[in-house]
Structure 1
Amino acid sequence: MPEINIRLLCEEETRAALPALAEILSDCVEGGASVGFMQPFPPKDASPFWEGVAAAVARDDVVLIVAEVNGRIVGTVQLGIGTMPNQPHRADVKKLLIHRDARGLGLARRLMERAEIEAMRRGRRVLVLDTATGEPAEAIYERFGWLRAGVVPDYALMPDGRYCGTTFFYKHLAPYCMIP
């Protein structure tokens, strides 16, 4: 049984993990995941993205959560908490990425569960995310209890250049209440 660890990374740890994080993002894009980048996408091209994430972690705009298997970072998800003043109760779940070598271990579920815990710790009760319509991740989010808000056709491009729709999801972590 592999040793699995789910943990947060601070800015310094994120910068130290840039090669592993870049490899995960590159692997997902090369595998066809529509996560904002186009093929070909070698790891060196992913480093600037992760440098931006490290800066966002330093500003406390993003919580970066990683999954390690036997000490190797193989998965990640981000919780965007740098919201506008009228959204102190909301967070964005971004870039759930699992390296193809590590799929099937339940890492997506564990990362998403940790994201929900971290959101609640920060007073966030409404989570939102988007994913490519018709792709495997769409069904995963539904299994995890997320609710479909709607689909925007031709919202983005797949890594090979084809248009794809985007499905928007939300999840309430606690009973909704208005803050006066």
Structure 2
Amino acid sequence: MTMTLSITDIPALDDGRLRAELEALLEDAVNSGASVGYHAPLAAHWKRTFWDGVAAQLSGGAHRLLIASGPEGNLLGSVQLALCTKPNGAHRADVQKLLVFTHHRRSGVARRLMEAVEDTARGLGRSLLVLDTLKGDRGEPFYEATGWRRAGLIPRYTVEADGAFHDTVLFYKTL
């Protein structure tokens, strides 16, 4: 069964209701084990700080935020696209922070967000996308299944909540 959802490109984070939903999304992701730069339990100031940073990047114009909403307008997930602004990188962008609420995972939301972020990148003249994910994370087989190619591994890239160093896997996709 495919869930009915809509994808929206959000130009600014000035809607208080959306901002609260995004903060809850980040908290849900971190507290359910997603490796997105934070450790559980996620403190309230980190949620605000993270989305303040995204808001600043959006206002700078080199960042895109796509959200997936359900039939009643409720937030299901989000993904970000960071556009390279250097002259030699005008063809590429980084896909960042693919987040889906725990209770909506495995329902096609992540796949739809990734299709939308790829379409957005194409529309902006980007032909190469890159992303990274924690080795062994559930994202690793998902990216492979959606046509992303493994570029390599960086050992000891993060320090996770267990205090140990963990590797990250780099992926790319040519559009």
Q: TM-score, normalised by structure 2?
A: 0.92
Aligned mates of 1:44, 1:102 — CA distance in 2: 25
RMSD: 1.7
1:131-170 matches, cutoff 5 A: 131-170=133-172
1:10-41 residue CA offsets vs partner (Å, 9 max, x unmatched) = 11456652111111111111111111012220
> Would the alpha carbon gap of residues 56 and 85 (structure 1) be closer, same or farther in structure 2, given more than 3 Å must change?
same
Aligned mates of 1:26, 1:171 — CA distance in 2: 28
2:130 corresponding residue in structure 1: 128
Structure 2 unaligned spans of 5+: none
1:53-68 matches, cutoff 5 A: 53-68=54-69
State the SS of the aligned residue for 1:149: strand
Aligned mates of 1:160, 1:109 — CA distance in 2: 29
1:119 corresponding residue in structure 2: 121
Q: How many angstroms does 1:54 deviate by?
A: 1.2
Q: Which amino acid aligns with 1:95?
A: K
Aligned mates of 1:2, 1:171 — CA distance in 2: 26
Contact conserved, 1:92 with 1:129, CA < 8 A, in 2? yes
Aligned mates of 2:15, 2:172 — CA distance in 1: 27
> Would the alpha carbon gap of residues 95 and 62 (structure 1) be closer, same or farther in structure 2, given more than 3 Å must change?
same
1:54-75 residue CA offsets vs partner (Å, 9 max, x unmatched) = 1111111111000112311120
Q: Do structure 1's residue 47 and structure 2's residue 32 form an aligned pair?
A: no
State the SS of the aligned residue for 2:147: coil
Aligned mates of 1:136, 1:55 — CA distance in 2: 29
Q: What percent identity do the matched residue pairs reach?
A: 40
1:30 corresponding residue in structure 2: 31
Structure 1 unaligned spans of 5+: 174-180
Contact conserved, 2:3 with 2:108, CA < 8 A, in 1? no
Q: TM-score, normalised by structure 1?
A: 0.89
Contact conserved, 2:65 with 2:78, CA < 8 A, in 1? yes
1:135-167 residue CA offsets vs partner (Å, 9 max, x unmatched) = 110000000100000011111122443321100
Aligned mates of 2:101, 2:164 — CA distance in 1: 23
1:171 corresponding residue in structure 2: 173
Q: How many angstroms does 1:5 deviate by?
A: 1.1
Count of residue pairs the alignment pairs up = 173
Contact conserved, 1:19 with 1:47, CA < 8 A, in 2? no
